[in-house]
Structure 1
Amino acid sequence: MSGNGPGGWRNLVFKAGRVRPTLRALVFLPALGGAGLGIGLLVLMALGVLGTQPLAASAFPSERVIEAGGPPTLILPVAALLFYLVLVLLGTLAFRRLLDGRSFTSLGFHRARGWLADTLFGLVLGLALMSLITAAEWGMGWLQIRGFVWETRPAAVVWLSLGYSLWQFVVVAINEETMSRGYILQNLEEDWGVKVAVVSSSVVFGLLHSANPNVSALALFNLFVAGLLFAYGYTATRQLWLPIALHFSWNFFQGPVFGFPVSGGAGQGLLVTSVNGPDLITGGAFGPEGGLIGLGAMVVGIGAIWGWGMRGHRGLEGSTT
């Protein structure tokens, strides 16, 4: 495209007097990541000066807490999650106000009629889908239930682990949905329409997990489909309550309750289980999200959200204020 015509290159960068929505979406994640990395390095330097050792990397909070066996172990990871939450919310607020010229709530945080019903539906749907996966694997003889974690661990440790896991997956759900189905999808929709925005934001969502442990080609495809599932939760209601609740519930019941790996991260659930079925179906070390059984559950979830939308329940349509 030539830059010599009316408007020239300015039309590539600006739209309606503001930076183009696509460019805003492209800059958004690197800006948040750069800010987080910079502040994180400063925190690590401060810990070094104070003589405090950062917590060693662990695949899962439940595993970390159970191995450590006490509340002091939780201080740094709880603070880190709080920092992550504040960074994403404030960063998104800044982009929304300064570049988009809109309110943060217009991303899908209006407490309009039906918002609580959307939230409850998302929570129940996540539990139902993960229960379906568990029942199917158990029925096929691929999953063995060995017992319950409280039979071998102190009750206090179990509750600490569960509480921390709940906090972690609340933060993950809020942040990932605010970024992916909130800022990125909605800015891309302004330039390209909802279909391109849904597919593109789902591709980004999948690629953001490409460095996860035990990832495979099928796992990446399934994560793309998970992006479509959550995006449909947004487009069906035009609010983020449903996808946030579903994202949280899916992860929380998958790992800390039923004991599956979550996106490749292994940990301890309330159920002590072992999975011996074919990796192509069960997902193996990546968890159900890496197998055909997880893909099937996501398709069921999309159908359930379609049914939820068809019952006449709607969120606040496309507010931009």
Structure 2
Amino acid sequence: MRLVIQLAVVAAIAVVGSTLVNAVASNPPLTLIIGLVTAAAALLGYRWVVRRTEHRPIDELSRTGAVPTLALGTLIGVGLFASVILNIAFLDGYRVLGWGSPAGAVALVGFMAAAAVTEELIFRGILFRIIEQWTGTWTALVLTAALFGLSHLFNPHATLWGALAIAIEAGAMLAAAYAATRTLWFPIGLHFGWNCAAGAIFSTEVSGNDTPDGLLHAVMSGPTALTGGEFGPEGSVYAVLFASVLTVVFLWLAHRRGRIVSRREARTAPRTTLAP
């Protein structure tokens, strides 16, 4: 029941925020403001509903170290996507033609902030965390990664390969990032940094969403395996490969720090002991 209640609260905020952002998409400053407000409202809504349904401190959103952890995740996300683009560009799959739209980049920052926060709260803060308490880390990672990939099948230029790529490179990686750190600030930053680099900086398609130009005006061409086609670079084999390597690193850190929950531990431990 707590899972349903928590999902309902955060999803409602996400839907309202997304509707408002889309309604003012032609006004970049307002889009930025509404996007940031949506992100803040989702964080407050999550803290409120989890406290009411689980009666515990919200350690996964602790204010202690929040800013540097969020910043580190963002930098890694930007660097990871930049590495993907550089490799695609090396094979002539990505070319910068000039400057794009700074105003568009501002709007995309707001949109990506709202998307990163609400999606991380839903998929890692609620689904992964609670399923992990029931089944252990590995099952929770596989199930939530699959759900995350499937959720992207509703995007305009979605493909089965794109959904699978998202499940591997984002669903699994972000769940592993949370398992390694036990704070939502890190995967939120990682998600936000990746999306901002993709849309607001390099002006590529983000998950097949007809993303407008960001800071640069660029074109992509070549085999779909290289560029991701209409779905965007997230459908590139480079994105899957690089993110998979980072997923392994995060899981190794989680294991080393003793943060992998086994199925037996999930079955026998009181739920409060498994809270982050």
**TM class by shorter-chain length?**
0.7 to 0.9
Q: 2:230 aligns with which of 285, 308, 321?
A: 285
> Are residues 94 and 110 of structure 1, via their aligned partners in 2, closer, same or farther at CA, if it must alter by over 3 Å?
closer
Aligned CA RMSD, in angstroms, stands at 3.2
AA at the equivalent of 1:227: G
The AA in structure 2 aligned to 1:202 is: A
TM-score, length basis structure 1:
0.69
SS for the counterpart of 2:70 is helix
Q: Quick one: which amino acid aligns to residue 249 of structure 1?
A: G
CA contact under 8 A between 1:36 and 1:87: conserved in structure 2?
A: no
2:88 and 2:226 in contact (8 A); partners too: no
Matched residue, 2:80: 129
Q: 1:174-193 CA deviation, whole Å, 9 max, x = no partner?
A: 22112211122111122222
Residue among 36, 44, 61 paired with 1:109: 61
Equivalent residue for 1:96? 50
Greater percentage in helix: 2
CA distance in 2, matches of 1:125, 1:232: 14
Shift in alpha-carbon separation, 1:309–1:93, aligned structure 2, 3 A: closer
Q: Deviations over 1:137-190 (max 9, x none)?
A: 1111222221222xxx6xxxx2x3333322322222222112211122111122
Change (3 A) 1:308 1:116: farther
Aligned residues: 259
Where does structure 1 lack aligned partners over 5 or more consecutive residues?
A: 1-22, 45-53, 65-72
TM-score (norm 2): 0.79
**Offset of 1:126 from its aligned partner?**
1.3
Structure 2 distance, partners of 1:177, 1:197, is 14
Could you say which residue in structure 2 is the equivalent of 1:141?
92
- Deviation of 1:234 after TM superposition, in Å, equals 0.7
What is residue 297 of structure 1 aligned with on the other side?
242
Using the alignment, how far apart are the partners of 1:74 and 1:223 within structure 2?
Answer: 27
Name the amino acid aligned to 1:230.
L
User: Quick one: which amino acid aligns to residue 282 of structure 1?
Assistant: T
| Identity of matched residues, % | 27
In structure 2, how many angstroms separate the alpha carbons of the residues matched to 1:120 and 1:83?
19
- SS of aligned partner of 1:210: helix
Q: Distance in 2 between matches of 1:192 and 1:24?
A: 16
Match of 1:85 in 2: 39
Stretches of structure 2 lacking an aligned partner (at least 5 in a row): 260-272
2:224 maps to a residue whose letter is D
Distance in 2 between residues matched to 1:76 and 1:121, nearest whole Å: 27
CA displacement at 1:30 relative to structure 2: 4.3
Letter in 1 for 2:2: R
Out of 193, 217, 220, the position equivalent to 1:275 is: 220
Q: Which residue of 2 aligns with 1:243?
A: 187
Deviation at 1:308, TM superposition (A): 6.3
With over 3 angstroms needed to count, the CA separation of the structure-2 counterparts of 1:75 and 1:167, relative to structure 1, is closer
Query: Max radius of gyration: which structure?
Result: 1
